[in-house]
Structure 1
Amino acid sequence: MFALQQYVVLAEGWPRRLVAFCAGAFGALALAPVNFFPALAISMVVSVWLLDGSTASTFGAILRRSASAGWWLGFGYFVVGLWWLGAAFLADGDRFAWALPLGVVGLPVFLAFFTALGFVFARLLWSPSPLRIFALAAGLSASEWLRGSVLTGFPWNDFGMVLGGNLYLAQTASIWGLYGLTVLSVLIFASPALFFQKGRKNVPVGGILFLALLGLFGAVRLSAPERFVKGARLRLIQPDVAIADFRSDRRNQLLEHYLSLSDRATSPDRNGVGDVTHLFWPESSFPFILSQDGGALSLIGSRLQNAILLTGAARAEGEGPRAKYFNSIQVISGGEVKESYDKIHLVPFGEYIPFGDIVSRLGLTQFVDIPGGFSHGRSSRLLTAPGLPPILPLVCYESIFPNEIADRISSQAVRPGVMLNVTNDGWFGKTSGPYQHFEQARLRTIEQGLPMIRVANTGISAILDPFGRATAYAPLGVEAVLDGELPKALPATIYSRHWIILPLILWVAVFFVSLVGRRKV
């Protein structure tokens, strides 16, 4: 037995916990912006060895030992993968710096329980057979699905994003989506654990060949030519406004900043906003209620000429203490708000306080400076703008939920032709967070076969085609005016048509293979 493998299998107490933590932490290097996807092999191989060593005299002790190993591995993975959340607490340090440990440590503590659950499930299916890597895939992919669903869900940095972050390896998401990629990620990157098992050196080679097959499939898909919608001339504004500058006393300066950028000459055929058909501004662009500010709407109407503006903006219903506020996308033409979409999936503690009456007694408030926080939108809907196909609106982190997006699309009377994602990642500065957010949003284009217009305050802004390729791109942390055409949508992908059943079939297949491994014992 390989010495390191033997050490991990036989480790006890704190050395065992430290090994699990470090393995999870190293695996997070497979995520953006590092994207060293082989790093996940360390996490998955050590996971196999930890479960091999999860033996005890009683069944309950075996499960506790498995859960402990899974929790420490998950804790390391989430601490390193989500450290950037601390930047949000420092963006308004006078109010939230005290709560920084709750985000940087507290959230990983909670999320690690899902990894622990995945380890327990895997251990219930465990066997000495080489097929035990299928048990690990069944357990961790099930727990990752739960993590993306329970308590409003948080699928950020799902293990499947290790494949999903690579444009070539991500293309099979058009078949089985993020959660299918999760199953494959665990299988592929756990397979090297069998290299040191007698007579099984061919299994890791099989994993490498399958990884190459995924890349080949991706290369074939990405060889498709780019196609664009005729007549749509898009302009995305990345204003790069600091969070501290979103203040009501800077109303005029902010509005002028947006309007000046919108009318900037960038090329011979883009001399200004007069050469643009559709203009896009990021999430919550204004420190005031735009729909109630006649002066601002009139100025926008006069300065933007015939361009149609789609922008993030807070929206209000009612007045006084009973007013409700929504984080919205609004379509503005001729100085009038034509349509609005209100964000449905809000960020807990960022945009509203769960169990508000109870939690508020502890002194906790949401990050956004809105009385009582934002209210949830009532229904999903498509937006319409002349010259564009039907638009699926997504505000901020709504773009990370594959099942919700698939459900919204399948529930519409017509298929959208483009997704619009407005966001403000300025809360997180120049950290890993905006890169991870961008890659998760990009994966939605591959899953659905739809282009995406992604406009972010501080970046990353882009126009993405239905294969996830950026036809226009503005990097993080710069002021930018991004011009481009609208890519054409593909026909509905296999995943888009069967988004529930196909990932489930893949998971059930892995589950039954793991049962075969148990029967061979």
Structure 2
Amino acid sequence: MAVAPPLAAHAPRRGPLPWVLALVAGLAQAASLAWPWGGQPLWWLQILSLGLWAHVLLGAGGTRRAGLLGWVFATAWLAGTFWWLFISMHTYGGLAAPLAVLAVLGLAAFLGSYYAAVSACFWALAPVHRALAAIVFAALWLLAELARGQWWTGFPWGAGGYAHVQGPLAALARSVGVYGIGAAAALLAMLLAQARRADLRNARAWALVLALTAVGAGAAWQRHCAVEGCGAPPPVHAPLSLALLQGNIPQDEKFQPGSGVPMALQWYYDQIHAAKASLVVAPETAIPLLPQQLVPGYLEGMAERYAAGGQALLLGIPLGSLEEGYTNSVLGFAPEQSQPYRYDKHHLVPFGEFIPPFFRWFTEMMNIPLGDFNRGAVGQPSLAWAGERIAPNICYEDLFGEEIGVRFLDPASSPTILVNLSNIGWFGNTVAVDQHLAISRLRALEFERPMVRATNTGATAVIDHRGQVTHRMPAYQRGVLRAQVQGRGGAATPYARWVARWGLWPLWALGFAVAGLAWCLRGRTGRARAGN
């Protein structure tokens, strides 16, 4: 006997409307990550837009159509999220506008193929029973997000979980991280898409709502106890004074020897020598030259300035030589150090800091200072200063929580303060600034450690261990953000503990386990309960 498709109970929707709804849902998903009018992430819009997409998927009518609709949804979402790549390629790179548009759409379409694949799989695998279908949808969404975040060096910018840095699902960050939050949002979205008016009179539907509410309340209470202390209070660190430098050097001048370079050298030199804070941080490539290219005594003067007294400096600067290779690095100067502290960026930006195989023809079309940098190791040591262990990361490295998590493997050396040094001036005055701030906030939630951000153009900010922005300098303004940060010690979060040991493999295993079980049970689960 032929087996009916698991979702045959859902009448297929024909005509242009499903395609329009998929497009609208994708664009709304992008807007939820950083609302264009204000920059705030909107957790409710992320769930609603994903619920709209789930509604479209349920009526796709077949695996092929489901895959194509998923591709439209994901391409619209991703292109609407990182459209600002156009600015770096066209405005600063000199790539012709049509080619820059095609490049952004091509990247979005390529990454969207992951979601197209899992959309087709959902139609083939999902049982008719609504709760089970929601679980399968969440598992497949999780696998697509993981694939985008890790394959081909990974580009997880705009993952759905980043819309939840505030809201009811934020409490899950300390346990399952951003991808777990995204899976939970997908589960709720599919349940929402399958809701019926009759559910208001259905005792089982209300039992499910109460069960989900209880789980959410438990996660929130667990987070409250961990952050605020229920019984023995967590260790309290003395506040550390900060001076975060935001040079606002115009990106089209930043590497120009006759304008941006001398401007940066002079301004940062003056501010670094005048700063009074305990920790001074200058952003990624604040000094845009190699040490051997600087005038004699420039870098040595900074080292001497911070060799004594109660201050330390973290400074973004390229290091290396033609023979040894180059690194995008952070130098740290503090009293009583025999050698400067050094951190080398590990997760390099494709096309910016390394050129993928077979793509040199593409980079040669742009007028951007590119190079093949060496990679630093994962889990490099922190800078020990003023009773804190200060762990830098550079630019979009804070996207990769699993790599930051390696630093929590040894509790005795785990960071108490995270520091991000960035320059995203390549992308203009766009939502990229607010999106990156939300990424840093999510890392603070996952590890329950404060995150300090020093950037060239924004967002220079201080984020506490609750993921709240306590201080922020307006973007595209030159100045110094003077603030305080309170380091956080104590036990690592559950997420930090398991990701430090196993990376993201537990989430991969969970996603594949649910998908595999659905494959084994396809055609046998839920048909007798199609009306549920």
TM-score, normalised relative to structure 1: 0.83
Residue 354 (1) aligns with residue 356 (2):
yes
Equivalent residue, structure 1, for 2:452: 453
Task: For residue 168 of structure 1, report the CA deviation from its aligned partner.
Answer: 5.7
Letter of the 1:35 partner, please give it.
P
1:298 to 284, 293, 300: 300
Task: For residue 258 of structure 1, report the CA deviation from its aligned partner.
Answer: 1.6
CA distance in structure 2 between the partners assigned to 1:206 and 1:27 by the alignment: 27
- What pairs with 1:237-276 in structure 2 (closer than 5 Å)? 237-246=245-254, 247-250=256-259, 251-262=261-272, 273=275, 275-276=276-277
Task: For residue 512 of structure 1, report the CA deviation from its aligned partner.
Answer: 8.5
Letter of the 2:439 partner, please give it.
Q
Task: For residue 338 of structure 1, report the CA deviation from its aligned partner.
Answer: 0.8
Residues 220-267 of structure 1: per-residue CA shift (max 9 Å, x gap)? 66656997633743221122221123123344432221233346xxxx
CA distance in structure 2 between the partners assigned to 1:285 and 1:217 by the alignment: 40
Contact kept, 8 Å, 1:349 with 1:365, in 2: the verdict is no
Equivalent residue, structure 2, for 1:74: 74
Residues 195-239 of structure 1: per-residue CA shift (max 9 Å, x gap)? 226447746955984697366766666656997633743221122
Residues 312-349 of structure 1: per-residue CA shift (max 9 Å, x gap)? 111113x4xx4521111111358996122211110111
Equivalent residue, structure 1, for 2:185: 185
CA distance in structure 2 between the partners assigned to 1:168 and 1:259 by the alignment: 44
Residue 414 (1) aligns with residue 413 (2):
yes
- Tell me which moved more, 466-475 or 142-151: 466-475
Residue 37 (1) aligns with residue 40 (2):
no
Consecutive unaligned residues of structure 2, counting only runs of 5 or more, are 1-9, 528-532
Identity %: 26
Residue 423 (1) aligns with residue 430 (2):
no
Letter of the 1:475 partner, please give it.
P
CA distance in structure 1 between the partners assigned to 2:367 and 2:344 by the alignment: 18
Give the 3 Å change call, closer, same or farther, for CA 233–303 of structure 1 in structure 2. Answer: same
Letter of the 1:89 partner, please give it.
M
Give the 3 Å change call, closer, same or farther, for CA 206–49 of structure 1 in structure 2. Answer: farther
Task: For residue 14 of structure 1, report the CA deviation from its aligned partner.
Answer: 4.3
Letter of the 2:462 partner, please give it.
I
CA distance in structure 1 between the partners assigned to 2:405 and 2:385 by the alignment: 25
Consecutive unaligned residues of structure 1, counting only runs of 5 or more, are 1-7, 56-61, 264-271
Give the 3 Å change call, closer, same or farther, for CA 169–475 of structure 1 in structure 2. Answer: farther
- What pairs with 1:18-29 in structure 2 (closer than 5 Å)? 18-29=20-31
Residues 151-193 of structure 1: per-residue CA shift (max 9 Å, x gap)? 1111111122222x31663132101111210111111223222
Give the 3 Å change call, closer, same or farther, for CA 248–337 of structure 1 in structure 2. Answer: farther
Equivalent residue, structure 1, for 2:280: 279
User: Secondary structure at the residue paired with 2:170?
Assistant: helix
Equivalent residue, structure 2, for 1:236: 244
Equivalent residue, structure 2, for 1:401: 400
User: Secondary structure at the residue paired with 1:160?
Assistant: helix
Equivalent residue, structure 1, for 2:89: 89
User: Secondary structure at the residue paired with 2:252?
Assistant: helix
User: Secondary structure at the residue paired with 2:242?
Assistant: strand
- Tell me which moved more, 457-466 or 105-114: 457-466
Equivalent residue, structure 1, for 2:119: 119
Equivalent residue, structure 1, for 2:52: 46
1:313 to 312, 317, 332: 317
Contact kept, 8 Å, 2:238 with 2:487, in 1: the verdict is no
CA distance in structure 2 between the partners assigned to 1:216 and 1:412 by the alignment: 24
Contact kept, 8 Å, 1:429 with 1:477, in 2: the verdict is no
Give the 3 Å change call, closer, same or farther, for CA 231–407 of structure 1 in structure 2. Answer: closer
Letter of the 1:28 partner, please give it.
A
TM-score, normalised relative to structure 2: 0.82
User: Secondary structure at the residue paired with 1:123?
Assistant: helix
CA distance in structure 2 between the partners assigned to 1:375 and 1:229 by the alignment: 36
What is the count of residue pairs matched by the alignment? 492
User: Secondary structure at the residue paired with 2:107?
Assistant: helix
Letter of the 2:353 partner, please give it.
E
Equivalent residue, structure 2, for 1:143: 144
CA distance in structure 2 between the partners assigned to 1:396 and 1:456 by the alignment: 9
User: Secondary structure at the residue paired with 1:38?
Assistant: helix
Give the 3 Å change call, closer, same or farther, for CA 234–74 of structure 1 in structure 2. Answer: same
User: Secondary structure at the residue paired with 2:298?
Assistant: helix
Residues 62-93 of structure 1: per-residue CA shift (max 9 Å, x gap)? 32122111111111211222222222224415
Task: For residue 445 of structure 1, report the CA deviation from its aligned partner.
Answer: 1.7
Residues 37-81 of structure 1: per-residue CA shift (max 9 Å, x gap)? 2223443333333333233xxxxxx32122111111111211222
Contact kept, 8 Å, 1:145 with 1:179, in 2: the verdict is yes
CA-based RMSD? 3.3
- Tell me which moved more, 241-250 or 92-101: 92-101
Residues 429-468 of structure 1: per-residue CA shift (max 9 Å, x gap)? 2211111111112211221222222211111122222222
Give the 3 Å change call, closer, same or farther, for CA 426–108 of structure 1 in structure 2. Answer: same
Contact kept, 8 Å, 2:383 with 2:389, in 1: the verdict is yes
Letter of the 1:377 partner, please give it.
G
